[in-house]
């Protein structure tokens, strides 16, 4: 136990009030900046949809105005993306009907040579 | 014969110490876990190999200028990018060009989890003070809890340059070990019922919002913590290059060629900076222990804050507390861990999209925390 304390000499009296104040203030500032960022980006979509509605209102387009700002849910976006992806992947269904025959060549190797096997069999007898 | 003896005297065999051999072993372990288990291979392979380069023994006072700490050596020139804090902002530029902030924009309240998960930074700062480290050293050690390598290197190069190597190695090691460190804490602090919470799918985000985010994000965080400007300025610039869609070439370079080049040089030089003669000290051991504590506190901070937020949220808006652990910045490892733990509790519950929100927020959070530390201590 003594050796552990020697290696890790924890001394809580080293922590002064200025250190605690710095830690608490620092943590609070991180929270504050994120809180403001969260607040800002909660308001921005509402402002954007209000702005779009106002534009459609000026144009007199009631249908578009009613739909404006209704964000598409992620599941719907995913379904649309999947449909587009599948459609694009299926485009190769119309084949060009050109067949290519590639020559299959066997490279020579003495390891699989029939001649060597036949000739050498006699030598070992 | 004298010539041969001189040659032997210059060789690694004559200058090897047990410390060198130990560090060579550590380098090999890094390379092994990077290749065998694919834990952060992009970082661990260059760092591991850098450890081998830095710990191949040679005569340090032979006038050959080989070592990373020797003026005029090639490695020393490359290391200036670390010491002067040049590489981290460049890496942040690439990260910005790769990062999609949509999950965060679509559900802004999740950004608070990224703030909560910075708990480890400030708790470890106090822990390091109690262990006798100076104020600036403690702040540099604490930033390991942000789980962001470039931020840790940036802050320590400003506040405690003599500890950069140890802090960077600790930060990257624990980032690689996120899949081992976080799950036990996640299971300890959450109930089975909480782990099964299904969150509402995020809404789609418009292009205008994506373009506005880096601009307002920079102005807001920059005004509050100007010390974080080198990092956050580059992060948000990279993101604007990506989201504006008119600078595709620049975004492609930032997120591919440039970040790769900087990562290689950064990894090798950080690895080489662990030269046994300067690295193997009692402080390095303490930094490793404090780094692990920082990671644990940060993980716990994110999870507990998610549970706290749930007290005020309606049933359909509840947050799965597992994603709180992703508030540490290790992108995307900690989000992946949240996903895997969520799947273990309920195989139909996919949390990765939700977890990416606190995950990217954690990157911003750790940079803000670094900026605040610099404002206090420089």
Distance, in Å, from the CA atom of B367 to the CA atom of B226, rounded to the nearest integer, reads 10
Residues in chain A with CB shorter than 8 Å from the CB of B119 are 27
Query: Is residue B149 helix, strand or coil?
Result: helix
Q: From the candidates A17, A28, A37, which should be mutated to test the interface with B, based on the most B CB atoms within 10 A?
A: A37
Q: Which residue in the set B104, B129, B204 is minimally distant from A72, CB to CB?
A: B204
Residue B26 backbone phi and psi in degrees, to 5: -60, -45
Residues in chain B with CB shorter than 8 Å from the CB of A15 are 126, 129-130
The reported pLDDT for the residue numbered A45 is: 83
Closest Cα to residue B284, out of B144, B120, B82, B123? B144
The reported pLDDT for the residue numbered A66 is: 59
Q: Which range (A7-21, B229-243, B291-305) has the least confidence? A: A7-21
Q: Which residue in the set A10, A40, A41 is minimally distant from B131, CB to CB?
A: A10
Q: Classify the phi-psi angles of B320: left when phi > 0, otherwise alpha if psi is within -120 to 50, otherwise beta.
A: beta
Residue B249: burial class (beta carbons within 10 Å; 0-12, 13-18, 19+): exposed
Mean per-residue pLDDT over chain A, rounded: 74
Residue B268: burial class (beta carbons within 10 Å; 0-12, 13-18, 19+): buried
The ipTM (two decimal places) reads 0.86
- Tokens standing for B374? 């610099």
Angstrom CA distances, B157 to A105, B48, B151, B202, B287, stand at 62, 21, 10, 39, 15
Contact flag B282-A7 (C-beta cutoff 8 Å): yes
For chain A, the domains span 2-123
Closest Cα to residue B324, out of B123, B135, B111? B111
Residue B356 backbone phi and psi in degrees, to 5: -65, -25
Cross-strand bridge partners of residue A73: B203
**Min CA distance, A94 vs chain B (Å)?**
33
> Would the pLDDT of B107 be above 70?
yes
For chain B, the domains span 70-377
Distance, in Å, from the CA atom of B48 to the CA atom of B54, rounded to the nearest integer, reads 10
Q: Which residue in the set B111, B132, B376 is minimally distant from A37, CB to CB?
A: B111
Q: Please name the residues in contact with A111: beta carbons below 8 A apart, sequence gap of 6 or more.
A: none
Q: What is the pLDDT of residues B27-80, one digit of tens each?
A: 999 999 999 988 888 888 999 999 999 888 877 766 677 778 788 888 899 999
DSSP state of B109: G
The reported pLDDT for the residue numbered B260 is: 95
The reported pLDDT for the residue numbered A69 is: 56
Q: What is the pLDDT of residues B174-221, one digit of tens each?
A: 888 888 899 999 999 999 999 999 998 888 788 899 999 999 999 999
> Would the pLDDT of A98 be above 90?
no
Query: Is residue B274 helix, strand or coil?
Result: coil
Helix axes B229-243 and B352-377, enclosed angle (nearest 10): 150
**How crowded is the C-beta side of A32, counted as CA atoms within 13 Å?**
14
């Amino acid at each position: 136990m003594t050796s552990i304390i020697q290696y890790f000499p924890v001394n809580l009296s080293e922590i002064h009030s200025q250190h605690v104040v710095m830690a608490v203030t620092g943590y609070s500032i991180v929270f504050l900046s994120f809180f403001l960022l969260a607040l800002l980006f909660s308001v921005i979509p509402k402002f954007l949809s209000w702005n779009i509605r106002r534009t459609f209102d000026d144009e007199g387009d009631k249908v578009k105005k009613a739909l404006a700002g209704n964000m598409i849910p992620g599941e719907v976006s995913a379904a649309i993306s999947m449909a587009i992806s599948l459609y694009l992947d299926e485009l190769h269904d119309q084949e060009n009907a050109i067949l290519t025959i590639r020559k299959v060549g066997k490279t020579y190797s003495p390891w699989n040579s029939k001649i060597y096997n036949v000739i050498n069999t006699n030598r070992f007898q | 014969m004298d010539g041969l003896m001189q040659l032997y005297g210059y060789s690694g065999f004559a200058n090897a110490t047990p410390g060198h051999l130990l560090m060579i072993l550590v380098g090999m372990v890094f390379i092994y876990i990077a290749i065998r288990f694919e834990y952060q291979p992009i970082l661990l392979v260059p760092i591991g190999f850098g450890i081998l380069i830095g710990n191949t023994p040679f005569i340090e006072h032979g006038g050959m200028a080989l070592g990373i700490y020797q003026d005029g050596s090639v490695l020393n020139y490359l290391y200036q990018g670390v010491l002067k804090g040049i590489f981290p902002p460049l890496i942040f530029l690439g990260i910005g060009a790769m990062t999609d902030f949509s999950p965060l924009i679509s559900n802004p309240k999740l950004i608070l989890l990224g703030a909560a998960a910075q708990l480890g930074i400030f708790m470890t700062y106090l822990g390091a003070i109690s262990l006798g480290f100076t104020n600036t050293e403690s702040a540099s050690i604490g930033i390991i809890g942000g789980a962001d390598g470039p931020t840790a290197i940036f802050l320590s190069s400003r506040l405690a340059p003599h500890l950069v190597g140890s802090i960077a190695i600790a930060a990257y090691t624990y980032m690689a070990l996120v899949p081992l460190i976080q799950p036990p804490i996640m299971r300890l602090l959450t109930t089975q019922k909480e782990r099964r919470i299904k969150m509402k799918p995020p809404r789609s985000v418009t292009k205008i919002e994506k373009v506005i985010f880096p601009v307002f994000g920079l102005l807001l965080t920059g005004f509050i913590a100007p010390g974080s400007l080198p990092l956050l300025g580059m992060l948000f610039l990279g993101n604007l290059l990506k989201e504006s869609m008119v600078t595709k070439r620049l975004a492609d370079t930032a997120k591919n060629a440039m970040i790769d080049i900087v990562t290689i040089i950064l990894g090798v030089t950080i690895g080489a900076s662990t030269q046994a003669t300067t690295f193997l000290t009692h402080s390095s051991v303490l930094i490793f222990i404090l780094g692990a504590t920082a990671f644990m506190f940060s993980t716990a901070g994110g999870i507990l804050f998610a549970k706290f937020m749930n007290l005020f949220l309606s049933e359909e808006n509840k947050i799965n507390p597992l994603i709180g652990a992703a508030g540490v910045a290790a992108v995307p490892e900690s989000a992946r861990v949240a996903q895997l733990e969520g799947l273990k509790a309920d195989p139909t519950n996919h949390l990765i999209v939700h977890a990416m929100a606190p995950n990217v927020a954690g990157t911003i959070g750790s940079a803000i925390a670094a900026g605040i530390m610099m404002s206090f201590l420089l």
